[in-house]
Structure 1
Amino acid sequence: MLYKFKSRATADLIMLEPNGRQLLKIVGKGEEPHGIIIAAQIPAAIEALQAAVAAEEAAERDLQEPLQGAPAAQDGEEAPDGPAAGGEGVRLHQRAAPFIDMLRRSAAEGKDVTW
């Protein structure tokens, strides 16, 4: 399933279900297949998304600090897995950026965001 976010202030934004559901959960909306963020709710939604992004970045920094002093993997040993080790993977700030932009532009024009 896909989430298709719409606003009269921007182009449509399409996300895969897990990503869309995660963002909706952060802004305090359920996992319903259809819903609305009215213009008055947009500033709180943006603030919630920015707080979640900041929390994820802080947690990632905390994970990387112990790894910086760790010795490199020896021959035959595997390097630590995960985003903190290799810097791979899509971060929340990357997934949330287009949605935050849509919310900001919609708020500027006083338009609702629906899905």
Structure 2
Amino acid sequence: MAIKFKSQATGDLVMVQATAQAVLQLLGKSADGPGIIEPADMPQALAALRAASDEVVQPPEDDDHPAPAFPDEVVSLRKRAYPLAQMIERALAEGKPIVWGV
């Protein structure tokens, strides 16, 4: 099952439910029903996503030679949360909320 995030400031963003639940849990929200991130709450949401991402993923030791990506490589929460962070930044810039489950 998928969760669709919507905002008048951006296109729709679709995440699988497990990923959406993990990301929304970081924000103190739930994917179980309709929800909203108001523009006033977006700076805190961005800070929470960035703080969690830093804890989950270690930067590569050598930026000129990143580690190879393998098909069975685990995708970090940092990579999975990035599209929502971008959506939040754009919605915040335009003062529009983000909703899901509606």
Question: Which TM bucket (shorter chain)?
Answer: 0.7 to 0.9
Shift, 1:2, TM fit: 1.0
How big is each residue's C-alpha offset from its partner over 1:28-85, in whole Å with a ceiling of 9 and x where there is no partner?
Answer: 1123221000010011001000000011125x99xxxxxxxxxxxxxxxxxxxxxxxx
Q: TM-score, normalising length from structure 2?
A: 0.81
Match of 1:4 in 2: 4
Q: Is contact 2:39–2:91 with CA below 8 Å preserved after alignment? A: yes
Q: Does 2:86 match 1:101?
A: yes
Q: Is contact 1:7–1:112 with CA below 8 Å preserved after alignment? A: yes
Match of 1:13 in 2: 13
* Residue pairs, 1:22-41, within 5 angstroms: 22-41=22-41
What secondary structure, in the 3-state scheme, does the structure 1 residue paired with 2:51 have?
helix
- CA–CA separation in structure 2 for the residues paired with 1:38 and 1:102: 13
**5+ residue gaps, structure 2:** 61-69
Letter aligned with residue 104 of structure 1: E
**5+ residue gaps, structure 1:** 62-85
Q: Cα RMSD over matched residues?
A: 1.9
Q: Is contact 1:3–1:33 with CA below 8 Å preserved after alignment? A: no
Q: What is the number of residues matched between the two proteins?
A: 90
What secondary structure, in the 3-state scheme, does the structure 2 residue paired with 1:36 have?
strand
More helix by share: 1
Q: Is contact 1:23–1:96 with CA below 8 Å preserved after alignment? A: yes
Q: Is contact 1:49–1:96 with CA below 8 Å preserved after alignment? A: yes
Paired-residue identity, %: 40
Match of 1:54 in 2: 54
Which protein shows a greater Rg? Answer: 1
Letter aligned with residue 97 of structure 1: Y
What secondary structure, in the 3-state scheme, does the structure 2 residue paired with 1:114 have?
strand
Q: TM-score, normalising length from structure 1?
A: 0.72
- Deviating above 3 A after TM superposition, structure 1's stretches of 4 or more consecutive aligned residues are none
